[in-house]
Copies of this chain bind each other. A is one copy, B any other.
Amino acid sequence: MTSITTIIEDIAEEMRGVSERGAVADYIPPLACVDPAKFGMAVIEADGQVHTVGDANEAFSIQSVSKIFGFTLALDLLGDDLWQRVRQEPSGSAFNSIVQLESELGIPRNPFINAGAIVVSDVLVSHYGVEGAQQKILDLVRPLVSDKSGITIDRNVALQEKETGFRNAALANYMRNFGNIHNLVPDTLDLYFHQCALTMNCQQLAETGTYLMTGGRNPMTGQAVISPRNARTIMALMMMCGHYDGSGAFAIRVGLPGKSGVGGGILAIAPGIASVAVWSPGLNRHGNSLLGTRALERLVQRTGWSVFNAHHPS
């Protein structure tokens, strides 16, 4: 079998030749000024092997990929009580739709659309405060990463998100109206925007996903991060809702639970096999990394890692 290193080098080579790379998010300058030619990929295998290619060691804003971490903490805190405040279903609409909130009385459909992630932030603010919750998120991801340098919350990005985040402010106020935001709207949004401003590189991002790959443990320390059941729940919702209104297409093409961010990053998990991060800033029309999705599709074609594969290689 071809080595993973060879496979991802082939993929990076293919991506270098692609001219149509999608549109870089431009709603705030720190995202808009990222070079669309960037491409990085990192794979952590279950046995600890690390494979990287391209710009895998260049930090970027992981944006909505960070929703995994907030959701992990809130699920650990509340267990099934979390489902009183956010549902478990795909939304059937864009990532920032407010329509569904009206008919479903302020309960967002899942923790990976903006409204749902804001509710998750609100849970964390209630338990840890705004500053404490940011620290909790960093405390969750840093121990999973070998070289922690550069993992930060970019205050400038958070500030700029806040200054232009009128739609998220609308979502939060709307849910507060239904009693589904318990803290002051600016506080909950403050955590939300700071969580989205989490910055790291591909290798680090792939390492943060290892607790999902293993079913809940930090593979470097053996310590439980979350229960196996919660790990499966998180991956199930990544599969169902991790790519907004392109989640079905991602399930068909890639067949792995994954979560994308508007910064061009995607984290995908092959349960028991590998944790994979990819970064390419250009987005497709659903707001997911265009080349990142294609790279994951190629990886799964070569490795057979799709969870829908009959001859699972694990």
The digit string for A292-314, where 1 denotes a CB below 8 A from any CB of B, is 00000000000000111111101
Contact call A236/B255, Cβ cutoff below 8 A: yes
**Contacts A88-B249, A92-B92, A233-B252 supplied; 9 other A-B pairs, CB < 8 Å:** A90-B92, A99-B99, A166-B173, A170-B170, A170-B171, A240-B247, A271-B307, A271-B312, A272-B311
Residues of B within 8 A of A213 (CB): 310
A232 contacts which of B237, B257, B306 (Cβ < 8 Å)? B306
Could you give, for residues 95-120 of chain A, a 1 whenever the CB lies within 8 Å of some chain B CB and a 0 otherwise? 00111111100000110000000000
Q: Chain B residues with Cβ under 8 A from A167's Cβ? A: 173-174, 177
Bound Cα distance from A237 to B249, whole angstroms: 9
Interface size on A (CB < 8 Å)? 60
Q: A89-B90, A89-B92, A169-B173 are in contact. Are A309 and B251 (CB under 8 A)?
A: no
A309 to B212, CA, bound (A): 10
Given contacts A88-B252, A97-B102, A241-B248, is CB(A308)–CB(B307) below 8 Å? yes
Q: Do the beta carbons of A215 and B310 come within 8 Å of each other?
A: yes
B310 and A231 within 8 A (CB): yes
Contact status B174-A90, CB under 8 Å: no
Pick from B100, B176, B239, B310: contact of A166, CB below 8 A. B176
Structural contact, B236 and A251, CB atoms closer than 8 A: yes
CB closest chain-B residue, reference A251? B236
Q: Does A91 contact B (CB under 8 A)?
A: yes
- Contacts A239-B239, A271-B308 known; A92 to B100 CB distance under 8 Å? yes
A103 to B228, CA, bound (A): 40
Contacts of A314 in B (CB 8 A): 312, 314
